[in-house]
Amino acid sequence: MKIARPTAKKCLPDAAPWGLEYGPIETPFRAIPHRKGVVHMAKDSRALSKSQIADHLAKSTGATKRVATQFLDDLTSLAYKEAKNSFTIPGVGKLVLVNRKARMGRNPATGEEIKIPAKRVVKFRVSKKAKDAILGVKK
């Protein structure tokens, strides 16, 4: 006997206002409404995989999944090349290189003071627009 998998319609009856497509899924999910009609799908609070992002881009733009995957690959390779000059994704944030100074630290196991050398690190600075969209606007 074949058991039917739950669909978006069964898991979320009020999904229609957000324009969700109904179809079989492997795990139940919840829709997270967002400003300007964007719907974010979170499956059990796990991060979206590259394949899921490519699939969403392909559906929303009308392109193939292969083109969407190539776009993601090109975007990441461009970010790696341009990170030394700072690489910005508008509305999301930017990658920047930061020079850390040498400093004194402490070995937690022995309590002994150690010198931590200077080094360059890559940081991602989240844009104000992204912070406001995710956390909500402060009053």
Read off the pLDDT of residues 68-94 as tens digits, 9 standing for 90 and up.
Answer: 999 999 999 999 999 888 999 999 999
In whole angstroms, give the CA distance from residue 40 to residue 59: 14
- CA end-to-end span of the chain, whole Å? 56
Q: What is the pTM of this model?
A: 0.58
DSSP code for 6: P
Domain ranges (residues) in the chain: 86-139
CATH topology of domain 86-139: HU Protein; Chain A (4.10.520)
Greatest CA separation for the chain: 66
Mean pLDDT of 105-120: 95
Higher pLDDT, 14 or 77: 77
Which pLDDT score is estimated for 40? Answer: 56
**In 3D, which of 139, 19, 16, 23 has the Cα closest to residue 8?**
23
Q: pLDDT of 17-37, one tens digit each?
A: 445 454 444 444 445 554 455
